[in-house]
Amino acid sequence: MIKQHRQRFISGFQAFRGSTLRRLRSTPSYFFLIWRWSTWIYALIIILGIDQDYKTKAVYATTVYLLIITFIQTIIVTLYAPALHMLFPLRKSRQAQLDNDETDILPPIARTQNPYWDIAVYGLDVIICGLVIYYSGPFANAPNFGVSSPFYRYGMSTIFAAALAYQYRGGLAAALGFELFVVLGILVPAPGSPTNPPYHPNVIDIMASVCDAPIIAILTGYIANLLKGLTNSKRTLQQNARAIQDSARRETYLRSIMETIVRLSQEKQQMLQKSIEQTRQGGHFHAVILALPPDLEEEEVVHTLPTYLEATITGYKITAESKKILDEVLRTGQIYRRGFSQHDDTTRLYLPFLKNGRVHMILGAENKQILSSRDEIFLTTVGTQLLVALENSHLAEQTVQLASAAERGRLARELHDGVAQLVYMLSLNAETCAAQAQRIIEASEEDAELITPLAERIEKLVKITKQALWETRTYMFTLKPLMSGNTTLTQMLANQLQEFETISGLATHLEVVGSEEEMGEEPQLSQRKAQIGAAIFRIVQEALTNAYKHAKASNIHVRITITANSYIVEISDDGHGLSRTRERGELQRTYSGYGLQGMSERAQELEGTLEICQSEEGGVRVRISLPKQARVGHTK
């Protein structure tokens, strides 16, 4: 405890010693305290130095009592003097300290937010000093009021107190109250005043007692006004100098942030972390937080706490309350400001940055000092730059994606107009040859023995060309967009099955349960739907290919069930099933291309499930279930 108080004294003394403005503001307060203590000691010396026989014992005892009363009064005033609080800083809130720093000059006696209470305190000081003057007047032979009192100079300090606190109006009001007690001593002599011979007031004594107070009030008020003007001028100069330095520092860091954005534009995570660290240094903040909500075009927006980046000074911790504030700003889209409170000496400012009515970024700052409008402008400028940088990066990525999609579309057209047409013609010619060979076998038994081996090879060639055509079509669909425009998932599957049936000759059936119109989907879920459609198309494509190449199936049934929360697709065939492929390795080889692992990975990427089992018809049943909406925080 002693060490703590010692540290407070040292910090307070250093603060007082190190600031010219603080010393200037404190001068009237210390002058008042020195004057009051000096005049009290003067009265003490006078009273103790006079023989008791010089005056009656009753008057002398009264002055001793007054001496004790004024001593207690002086101690109380000293303890509550703001200048003393400055030298011995007490445990006060940060806001109270800042309020004291904004005071023009430190008043001799502490002032509150209640003006009536302040008037009562200063008025009580005037009354006590006036009564002391009145009752100690008979201590001298003549006059028995005013200047003859050993407390006359002590009482003048109440005029100093009021004038230094309220300038002319306060000083003159205190002087008027002080003079009323002097006049009271003239008109009604205090107890103990000499009666034999009685004292007769004269003009010199009256003028000396009455004129001192207003003159002192006017001079003190004039000095107080001069000090106020001087402190205001000096404060203005200091504020202007700090503002210039602050603006220069902020401009320097803004340039540094721009350089960071340009230099690290390809490394978004590093760019953001470096930028908020420079923002913290540029604004002299204790902490800066950057929150990035989920991508509105890729994820469903759920108003929960987003992930965030932070930059703090050493020893400062981000609390759970800060995270709650981020959640509130994300949910409301409103600026959050909070100053000092009784239980928290941290100020907070969180700025949301919106686009199309939605929060795309939150930039917040926390500090142990008041966050001003300049801080808000600085954060707004930095946040705008970062948001533009992120948007530019997103646009660059979209440009690359669009260029890639255009190139894939060109390759798909080349396959369709080139290789696919050649394979299709080859397939038609093979089927024609097969039909011609079959007719020769049926027409001539002599040639049948020779033609039959050739017909079998041609049949194999027909099957191979159909598989080649299906593979080519698969590559085309891999390259080009699967769902474009107003194409629905049901339409996509219907087109896929129709083309497969045309190429393979296998019977296919599509059953749809539910309706896509019942989803009530929002525009931000369009990309999610496209991803689901692509995954379903690839998995169904893999299942159809394997049913055609390996399962020896003749019928394939596809059932899609659309619920409020998910898509469920089942592909069943009537082939030989899993009886010949019980071993895991054999099952893996059964699925070409991505195979079982590729199908499972596609489902897992979208938080879905994949099951492969024996169907009721004896063939294989593939079942996939994909949720319509991604979980919050899921990363692909």
Each residue's pLDDT tens digit, 233-270: 877 887 788 788 888 888 888 888 888 888 888 788 88
Q: Is 360 exposed, middle or buried (0-12, 13-18, 19+ CB in 10 A)?
A: middle
Whether residue 108 is found in the same domain as residue 189: yes
Amino acid at 34: I
Question: What's the structural domain count of the chain?
Answer: 3
- The parent domain of residue 618 ranges over 488-636
Last residue of a domain, one of 340, 358, 393: 393
If one compares 284 and 340, the residue with the highest pLDDT of the two is 284
pLDDT for 300 equals: 39
Whether residue 142 is found in the same domain as residue 60: yes
Whether residue 214 is found in the same domain as residue 362: no
pLDDT for 556 equals: 87
Per DSSP, helices labelled H in 197-317 are 203-263, 268-283
Q: Distance (Å, rounded) from C-alpha 219 to C-alpha 215?
A: 6
Evaluate if residue 94 carries a pLDDT over 60: no
> Nearest Cα to 368, choosing from 401, 341, 398, 345?
345
Whether residue 623 is found in the same domain as residue 562: yes
Whether residue 68 is found in the same domain as residue 147: yes
pLDDT for 482 equals: 54
CATH at residue 314: 3.30.450.40
Q: DSSP letter string over 101-124?
A: HT-SS--SS---S-HHHHHHHHHH
Residue 576 lies in a domain: yes
Whether residue 235 is found in the same domain as residue 269: no
pLDDT grade, residue 35 (50/70/90)? very high
Whether the Cβ atoms of residue 533 and residue 483 lie closer than 8 Å to each other: yes
Whether residue 377 is found in the same domain as residue 270: yes
Whether residue 208 is found in the same domain as residue 273: no
Q: Which two tokens stand for residue 201?
A: 């007031």
**Which pTM value belongs to this model?**
0.52
Task: Give the pLDDT mean for 104-118.
Answer: 81
pLDDT grade, residue 427 (50/70/90)? confident
Residue 411 lies in a domain: no
Task: Give the pLDDT mean for 298-313.
Answer: 60
pLDDT grade, residue 92 (50/70/90)? very low
Residue 254 lies in a domain: no
Residue 416 lies in a domain: no
Last residue of a domain, one of 361, 393, 425: 393
pLDDT for 526 equals: 65
> Nearest Cα to 362, choosing from 303, 320, 313?
303
Residue 431 lies in a domain: no
pLDDT grade, residue 6 (50/70/90)? low
pLDDT for 480 equals: 59
Whether the Cβ atoms of residue 216 and residue 175 lie closer than 8 Å to each other: yes
Q: Distance (Å, rounded) from C-alpha 434 to C-alpha 440?
A: 10
Evaluate if residue 12 carries a pLDDT over 60: no
Residue 523 lies in a domain: yes
Residue 12 lies in a domain: yes
> Nearest Cα to 84, choosing from 163, 35, 18, 12?
12
Evaluate if residue 440 carries a pLDDT over 90: no
Task: Rounding to the nearest 10 degrees, give the CA dihedral for residues 392, 393, 398, 401.
Answer: 150
Longest Cα separation, the chain: 175
Q: Distance (Å, rounded) from C-alpha 334 to C-alpha 350?
A: 9
CATH at residue 587: 3.30.565.10
Mapping DSSP to helix (H, G, I), strand (E, B) and coil, where does residue 80 land?
coil
pLDDT for 68 equals: 93
Q: DSSP letter string over 534-586?
A: HHHHHHHHHHHHHHHHTS--SEEEEEEEE-SSEEEEEEEE-SSTTTT--SHHH
If one compares 608 and 464, the residue with the highest pLDDT of the two is 608
If one compares 529 and 67, the residue with the highest pLDDT of the two is 67
| H or E segment and range at residue 404 | helix 373-417
The rounded mean pLDDT for the chain is: 78
Stated length of the chain: 636
pLDDT for 17 equals: 47
| β-bridge partners, 362 | 291, 352
118-127, 431-440, 545-554 — most confident range: 118-127
Q: Distance (Å, rounded) from C-alpha 133 to C-alpha 147?
A: 9
pLDDT grade, residue 70 (50/70/90)? very high
pLDDT for 52 equals: 56
Last residue of a domain, one of 371, 393, 415: 393
Q: Distance (Å, rounded) from C-alpha 224 to C-alpha 229?
A: 9
Please say whether the dihedral angle defined by the alpha carbons of residues 375, 377, 378 and 382, taken in this order, is positive or negative: positive
Task: Give the pLDDT mean for 314-326.
Answer: 85
189-193, 284-288, 478-482, 601-605 — most confident range: 284-288
Task: Give the pLDDT mean for 362-381.
Answer: 89
- Of 207-216, 260-269, 445-454, 478-487, the range with the lowest mean pLDDT is 478-487
| H or E segment and range at residue 38 | helix 20-49
Q: Distance (Å, rounded) from C-alpha 208 to C-alpha 487?
A: 106
> Nearest Cα to 579, choosing from 619, 634, 608?
619
Whether residue 188 is found in the same domain as residue 313: no
Whether residue 324 is found in the same domain as residue 202: no
pLDDT for 363 equals: 92
Whether residue 188 is found in the same domain as residue 289: no
pLDDT in tens, 500-530: 777 777 888 888 888 775 444 444 456 677 7
pLDDT in tens, 137-180: 887 767 878 888 889 999 999 999 999 888 899 999 999 999 99
Evaluate if residue 279 carries a pLDDT over 80: yes
Task: Give the pLDDT mean for 70-76.
Answer: 92
Whether residue 269 is found in the same domain as residue 231: no
8-22, 308-322, 371-385, 601-615 — most confident range: 371-385
Residue 426 lies in a domain: no
